[in-house]
Amino acid sequence: MTDSAPPSPPTIGVFDSGFGGLTVLRALIERLPAARYAFLGDTARLPYGSKSRRTIARYAAQSARFLVNEQGADFLVIACNTASALALDAIQDAVSVPVLGVIEPGAEAARAASRSGDVLVIATDATVQSHAYAAACQARGLRGIEKACPLLVPLVEEGWTPSPAAALSFAAQAGVAPPQGSQGAQVAVTAEVIRIYLAELNAEAAAAGLHPDTLVLGCTHYPLLRALFERAVPPGMSVIDSAEAAAQAAVRIFNTLPASFGSPLPSVLAPPQVVEIRCFATDSVEKFERLGSRFLERPVGKVELVDLGG
Ligand code: DGL
């Protein structure tokens, strides 16, 4: 009998322009708790959603190299719709490990949910201008109509989101009043912004003769507003969370990688082990530590500051 140490678990690198991608990390941890995780939020250069393809590709490739070359990631999940839409090729060229973006899983989940074949997609300006979702929908026989909602990322970054408890009660009782006090007023503003964006998008869809029955949340910040979206969409419309869809796809892909990647991983963690997560940010470490736990639904712990250059 040999006395060799068990192989160390693989590291899954998760990258976002900010900390919205923690929604993808949370969904991954639920499914693959036995992996190690390294999360990078490029908070110094957020938002990506208003920048050019060239700049997004440069920032995203640097970030991916950090996770692979310096943190030893064996597999990368691009938990940023904007980087997935505009820079997936640049990221794949920059690193030598498998890379998964969020657009294809989101479109695949829409295909599974939609009966009419008409799908609404909301995302950042850059994602919408790339038409990556429309193309991914078209490749699956769906008609996708996209809308940029640039006010939503800042509202989420400011914490103008329902608390998890309020979100549950919104989801359980459509029409329930938002929470009282200043947080209630903030959430009411966010709800009104969502109502206006969706009314505009539904009007565009109707003018184009579409009958959408599915809404894709094509930005990693939007899952924090999911309860508000569910209240705002017409009855019967499915709301697709691209974070959940990406995590499901990541598990499927990861578990079919060669055993040299440490695959397949068990779906439960043997006690007393704890999930190993290291979080890195390029700026705003305190804000990341404060707000990140809302996205991750657990403390993010100590966030390490990194400098990726210009
Ligand atoms: N992470 C981006 C996305 O999912 C949103 C924030 C940004 O604009 O950088 O599209």
Domain residue extents for the chain: 11-101+245-305, 103-242
The topology under which CATH files domain 103-242 is: Rossmann fold (3.40.50)
Residue 236: burial class (beta carbons within 10 Å; 0-12, 13-18, 19+): exposed
Q: Is the pTM of this model over 0.85?
A: yes
Cα(226)–Cα(70) distance, integer angstroms: 34
pLDDT given at position 19: 86
- Cα 80 to averaged position of ligand 1 atoms, centre (Å): 6
pLDDT given at position 42: 97
pLDDT tens-digit readout, 171-207: 445 455 555 567 889 999 999 999 999 999 999 999 9
Residues 6+ apart with CB under 8 A from 300: 22, 277, 279, 288, 289, 292, 293
Q: Do domains 11-101+245-305 and 103-242 have the same CATH topology?
A: yes
Our mutation pick for probing the ligand 1 site, out of 24, 45, 50, 80, counting the most ligand atoms within 8 A of Cβ, is 80
**127 Cβ closer than 6 Å to some ligand 1 atom:** yes
Residue of 80, 137, 149, 279 marked catalytic: 80
pLDDT given at position 264: 79
Our mutation pick for probing the ligand 1 site, out of 124, 149, 224, 295, counting the most ligand atoms within 8 A of Cβ, is 124
Sheet holding 75-78, edge to edge: 99-100, 75-78, 11-16, 36-41, 276-281, 303-305
**CATH code, residues 11-101+245-305:** 3.40.50.1860
pLDDT given at position 1: 46
Cα(238)–Cα(257) distance, integer angstroms: 32
Cα(299)–Cα(27) distance, integer angstroms: 15
Does residue 189 contact residue 255 with C-beta atoms inside 8 Å? no
For 253, phi then psi, to 5°, come to -70, -45
Query: Tens-digit pLDDT profile for the chain (310 aa)?
Result: 455 555 678 999 999 999 889 999 999 999 999 899 999 999 999 999 999 999 999 999 999 999 999 999 999 999 999 999 999 999 999 999 999 999 999 999 999 999 999 999 999 999 999 999 999 999 999 999 999 999 999 999 888 998 765 555 554 454 555 555 678 899 999 999 999 999 999 999 999 999 999 999 999 999 999 999 999 999 999 999 988 999 999 999 988 888 877 777 777 666 657 889 999 999 999 989 988 888 898 888 899 999 998 7
Other beta carbons within 10 Å of 211: 11
Across the strands, what pairs with 77?
14, 100
